[in-house]
Amino acid sequence: MSEIEKPREQIFVTQATLPPFEEYVEEIKPLWKSHIITNMGEKHHTFETTLKEYLGIENISLYTNGHSALEGIIEAMELGSDGRKSIITTPYTFASTTHAIVRKGLTPVFADIKRDDYTIDPDSIRDVITEDVCAILPVHVYGMPCDIESIQQIADEFNLKVIYDAAHAFGAMWNGRSLASYGDASMLSFHATKVFNSIEGGAVCFADNKLEKPLNQWKNFGITGPESVEYVGGNAKLTEFNAAMGICNLRHIEESIEKRKSIFKRYYEKLKGVEGITLPNFPNKLEPNYSYMPVLLDKKYKSTRDELFKTLETDDIHARKYFYPLVTDYACYKDRFSANTPIAKNVADNILTLPIYPDLSLKDVDRICAIVAAPQR
């Protein structure tokens, strides 16, 4: 096959990070001896301990994925049990955030986002607050920190819990502390597509250690001893193989974020002068994890978001419209919950997240940037 005929590599928005093959094999070898491959074995324990160290946090409970971790913390906090059945959240997120609220029998109430960082707007939280609200569930979108101080102020004023969806925030630091250490609890996702993965996996970081027992029991059928079952729990245990992958990937996380940083910088250099494009603007107190590369287009840009998306597709570059559609526009929600969130709507219609992952070459970044800078050829 000549150079010209060679099919071009498909570039996706992300690519799962894997440790060296031998390193993973070495890590799972002991499992062939112990035959303990799930139910909170040694790898689970080691993973939990190393995560606590890396994140600089006291309390963590591992889960089979981020979503079940979110459902787990809502249950462990017994939200709704005092009669208040609503949780304020953002429509500008992945399906999981709202689904967790609804699947636990609670009602989502949607606040708008801020145009400068796409996180929930505290003023809008105040606009939608009622006596039925028991918690706030904001999202650190693209690893950008929410307005943590203002949100805590509102929570204190109205006696609300704050649970952060920190699925995008692994490795990001805010004010010298892990971004996942704020609020009453934070959910982390270790899904294959995230900055850090254990193939599938997730966790809850939490402040009040009274939550440890219900969180740990929720993921194991509420079993508290060989002959006792105290809670109506589910099953959300992280396996030893997933924990082993997490242990390996955690050894390389800093290098992995460094590589993302150089890619992010290249995008920034090449795209900052392009008319009609807004790039992420990191606040000073943030040490970012460079998890996503969102570009927000406005009227001055040469094409619409959907046109740019298609142009990239024809070059085998698969960007993603994170987050489009808004959660409130999903078929399962659009006739069920109302929302007045014009900024979220506008951002959802004009955002595109470009490929970013540690092994993306700068040459490919340049090629992507050339298309974004001149979409009409």
Ligand X SMILES: *Cc1c(COP(=O)(O)O)cnc(C)c1O
Q: Which residue is nearest to ligand X (CB)?
A: 66
Least spacing, CB of residue 65 vs ligand X, in Å: 4
| Smaller CB separation from ligand X, 94 or 196 | 94
Q: Residue 176 carries which side chain, given as an amino acid letter?
A: G
Least spacing, CB of residue 96 vs ligand X, in Å: 3
| Smaller CB separation from ligand X, 169 or 244 | 169
Of the candidates 351, 183, 198, the residue with the CA atom closest to the CA atom of residue 278: 351
Residue 112 is a binding residue for ligand X (CB under 6 A): no
Residue 125 is a binding residue for ligand X (CB under 6 A): no
| Smaller CB separation from ligand X, 55 or 274 | 55
Least spacing, CB of residue 99 vs ligand X, in Å: 9
Q: Which of 44, 114, 191, 259 binds ligand X (CB under 6 A)?
A: 191
Residue 66 is a binding residue for ligand X (CB under 6 A): yes
Q: Which two tokens stand for residue 172?
A: 């990001």
Residue 189 is a binding residue for ligand X (CB under 6 A): yes
Beta strands, E only, 207-245: 223-225, 228-229
Cis upstream peptide for 323 (omega within 30°): yes
User: What is the separation of C-alpha 157 from the centre of its chain, rounded to a whole number of angstroms?
Assistant: 27
Residue 165 is a binding residue for ligand X (CB under 6 A): yes
Residue 291 is a binding residue for ligand X (CB under 6 A): no
Residue 99 is a binding residue for ligand X (CB under 6 A): no
Distance CA 89, CA 248 (A): 34
Judged by CB under 6 A, the number of residues near ligand X is 14
The three-state secondary structure class of 88 is strand
| Residues numbered 75-94 forming contacts with ligand X, rule: CB under 6 A | 93-94
Asked if residues 172 and 140 have their Cβ atoms less than 8 Å apart, the reply is: yes
Q: Give rounded-to-5 percent helix, strand, coil for the chain.
A: 40, 15, 45
Of the candidates 12, 9, 66, 10, the residue with the CA atom closest to the CA atom of residue 293: 12
Q: Which of 14, 31, 51, 67 binds ligand X (CB under 6 A)?
A: 67
| Smaller CB separation from ligand X, 195 or 372 | 195
Of the candidates 99, 146, 154, 142, the residue with the CA atom closest to the CA atom of residue 120: 146
Least spacing, CB of residue 336 vs ligand X, in Å: 20
Of the candidates 172, 150, 169, the residue with the CA atom closest to the CA atom of residue 285: 172
Q: Which residues bind ligand X (CB under 6 A)?
A: 65-67, 93-94, 96-97, 139, 165, 167-168, 189, 191, 202
